[in-house]
Structure 1
Amino acid sequence: MLYRRRLFLLLLAIFGAMNAVAFFHAWRFTHFSNEPGVHSPNPEQLGPGRKLWMLLTGIRNPKPRTGPKPNFPVETVTIASPNGLLEAWYARPDSSRSRGTVALFHGYTSSKSHLIHEAGYFRHLGYNVLLVDQAGNGNSAGFRTTVGYREADDVAAAVRWLNDSTRHQPPAASHQTLILYGVSMGAVAILRAEAELGIRPTANILECPYGNMRQTAYNRFESMHVPAFPMADLLVFWGGLQNSFWGFGLNAAHYASQIRTPTLLLWGTADPRVTRAETDAIFAHLAGPKARYDFPGVGHEPYWQRYSADWEQQTRAFLGR
């Protein structure tokens, strides 16, 4: 009897310690610090010793900063979101007549300045562009990220801003064609904004959205060659609880089943953070017209950097349709 009691207390202590570690890691993952420096390297880039140190101390997660403005003229605007004030860059195309607007949303630990190349290409095609710092990132308010859940409110806020003709010129008529472009976290935010917040764009271009938060956590552990269960599940649980949402319900494939917007889905076949199975599930669940292109040998990175011509051709052809 004494042995069982001690064993129970030992297991209880281990479970408590695992939850404490998971709580700490979830907080560091979803809350940026105000300290200078760079974000911790990706797990797949670390050696065994540094991976162990990251497991013990958590990631270094300073708030992402916005880089220099693009070489084309932009207007810096402020957008009111439930998550706080967002900073964005708005630019018109070189041509006198606009084909519509592309609103661009970045990924985790990033900012609008990382999408300047993409925005420049859309301007070349004749679109107005809106590059948004999502909440907690760049020059937008806050220090929190929910990796796509609350960022959906930022997507909805940006769309409302574009539809409000009293806030900018030219009038809203030029925004009847609205393309939403998102990378990773930004792509998931777009999917949730459409599925649950009623946003109705003309079309979507989505690069490497993850399938669901639980699988994303498992993928990160696997990239470190560390057993995922049960720590990955505890991370999702605590990360959602800390930020007032159900982390296991953050599911891009489920959102996709409610979306009839024409969508182009892009993915890199060597992506260690988004699996083929996740991408297949999202594509299969998309309820409207859809197209997909896989970039061979590319990881979780901008596809235009290695396949510039292919990326341009795919986006141009999709928008032409």
Structure 2
Amino acid sequence: MKQRRYKGIIEILLGIVVGGLLLLNVLAYQHAYAFLHFSTSDAVPGKYDTTSISGKLALLLQGQSISRPQPSTNPTSVHPDCRNQIITISTQLDLGAWYCAGSSNKLIILFHGYAMEKSALINEAKALLAIGHAVLLVDFRGSGTSSAAYTTIGYVEAEDVAASVRYVREHYAYKKIILYGQSMGAAAIFRAVDQLGIAPDALIVESIFDSLFNTVINRFDNLGVPYFPSAFLLLFWGGVQADFNAFTHNPVDYAQAIACPVLFLHGEQDSKARLPMTMRVYNTVPVQQKKIVVFPEARHESLYRHHPTLWQSTVLSFLARI
């Protein structure tokens, strides 16, 4: 009789464990899908650093629904002479871009961050234009006026970076091509250099993370919940959905291939891509001509908007030496 009772208890416990694991996988799949696929509705991006218990619980159960980033203005908001460009990658995929000519021999290609589009870089583009540099602001696939409605947090977007560089070399005669990327854009740039063989003359990377896994861990830490095993499941299912190994998406590894001058910009209070993460990437870059500038009190945000004077003095001084 006792043996039957113990057997029944064990079966119940096993059922609870198996059911819990299944539920965790379902939730991780949902979160991964919401994170990588933009909604075409008017959903408002969820804030995972909310302090309310109900807000955290809702986000944990439902995932972060994010609207497809839409263009908020037009190229003339950068400069009256700026114009739309289309960069064709395939018959199914085009990238939207804004091109603004400059008087110098340098062109800077700017790439936005996650869940954003090219107009997020208008202030930076204006500052660069003001000193004569040409700019090309590019929408990653899934954003703005580009095709598709998905993202891979910089993995496949590396192809967009490479296509943009090829486009510039084919259509323009600038002697120097500099790439500027914010967060996901920075990761995509590093991957394009390492995996796709592009050779820019210099890089400016803002709020870069060292690995996608550590970024996901920060996400859970900001929520105040344990990352194990959910972070592993989130990356696994995200990789399955997007057809890539998310555990290998590591800018710190791509950094070994960098062979040009690099300027790192980072917020002191960035909780999404924390400063030690960027320092790992910085220390891995093998070139001597590199520099990191930390913006006091800045979070994971536009560092130009946070401190325009520091941004301009830092970036313009770096470009003057390229």
Fold-level similarity (TM above 0.5): yes
Conserved 8 A contact 2:50-2:56: no
Aligned to 2:264, what secondary structure does the other structure show?
strand
CA distance, structure 1, for counterparts of residue 299 and residue 95 of structure 2: 29
Aligned position for 1:150: 156
How far apart in 1 are the matches of 2:217 and 2:71? 30
Q: Please name the residue that 2:295 is paired with.
A: 295
> 2:108 corresponds to which letter in structure 1?
V
What SS does the aligned partner of 1:81 have?
Answer: strand
Q: What are the ranges of 5 or more consecutive residues in structure 1 without an aligned counterpart?
A: 166-171
In structure 1, what is the equivalent of residue 26 of structure 2? 20
| Letter of the 2:317 counterpart | A
Question: Percent sequence identity over matched residues?
Answer: 36
Partners of 2:87 and 2:97 within 8 A in 1: yes
Rounded Cα–Cα distance in structure 2 between residues aligned with 1:200 and 1:67 = 32
The structure 1 residue matched to 2:112, chosen from 82, 106, 111, is 106
CA, structure 1 residues 34+46, in 2 after alignment: closer, same or farther (shift >3 Å)?
farther
2:45 match = 39
Q: What's the counterpart of residue 263 of structure 2?
A: 264
Using the size of structure 1 for normalisation, the TM-score is 0.93
1:241 alignment counterpart: 240
1:75 aligns with 2:74: no
* Residue-by-residue CA offset, 1:15-67 (whole Å, 9 max, x unaligned): 11100110011000000011024322x32244221111111111121101111
Equivalences, count? 310
Give the aligned partner of residue 314 of structure 1: 314
- In structure 2, what is the equivalent of residue 6 of structure 1? 12
* Secondary structure of 2:272's aligned partner: coil
1:257 is paired with a residue whose SS is helix
- Where 2:71 maps in the other structure, the secondary structure is coil
3-state SS of the aligned residue for 1:264?
Answer: strand
Q: Which residue of 1 aligns with 2:62?
A: 57
Asked if residue 138 in structure 1 is aligned to residue 144 in structure 2, the reply is yes
Shift of 1:2: 4.3
Q: Which moved more, 1:117-126 or 1:82-91?
A: 82-91
Partner of 1:283: 282
- Residue in structure 1 matched with residue 4 of structure 2 by the alignment: none
Partner secondary structure for residue 68 of structure 1: coil
For residues 10 and 268 of structure 1, what CA distance do their matches in structure 2 show?
44
**Which letter maps to 1:79?**
I
2:123 aligned with 1:117, yes or no? yes
Alignment of 1:214 onto 2:220: no
SS at match of 1:182: strand
Structure 2 partner of 1:229: 228
- The alpha-carbon deviation at position 5 of structure 1 amounts to 3.6
Q: Secondary structure of 2:28's partner?
A: helix
Point out where structure 2 has 5 or more consecutive residues left out of the alignment. Answer: 1-6
State the 1:297 CA deviation. 0.8
1:147 offset after TM fit, Å? 0.5
Tell me which moved more, 79-88 or 207-216: 79-88
Q: Which residue of 1 aligns with 2:3?
A: none
How far apart are the structure 1 equivalents of 2:51 and 2:200?
40
Could you tell me which residue of structure 2 aligns to residue 274 of structure 1?
273
Deviation at 1:232, TM superposition (A): 1.1
Amino acid at match of 2:85: V
Deviations 1:64-87 (A, max 9, x none): 111112141211011112571110
Q: For the Cα contact (< 8 Å) 2:78–2:122, is it kept in 1?
A: no
Task: Please state how far the C-alpha of 1:128 moved relative to its aligned partner.
Answer: 1.0
Displacement of 1:125: 1.7
Instruction: Name the counterpart of 1:163.
Output: 169
Compare 78-87 and 278-287 and name the one that shifted more: 78-87
Distance 1:145 1:244 in 2: 12
Amino acid at match of 2:178: I
Match 2:71 to one of 66, 74, 78: 66
The Cα shift of 1:280 comes to 1.0
Give the CA RMSD over aligned residues. 1.3
SS at 1:79's partner residue? Answer: strand
Shift of 1:6: 3.4
Aligned to 1:126: 132
Taking structure 2 as the reference length, what is the TM-score of the superposition?
A: 0.93
What secondary structure is seen at the aligned counterpart in 2 of 1:107?
A: coil
Q: 2:105·2:175 contact (CA, 8 Å) conserved in 1?
A: no
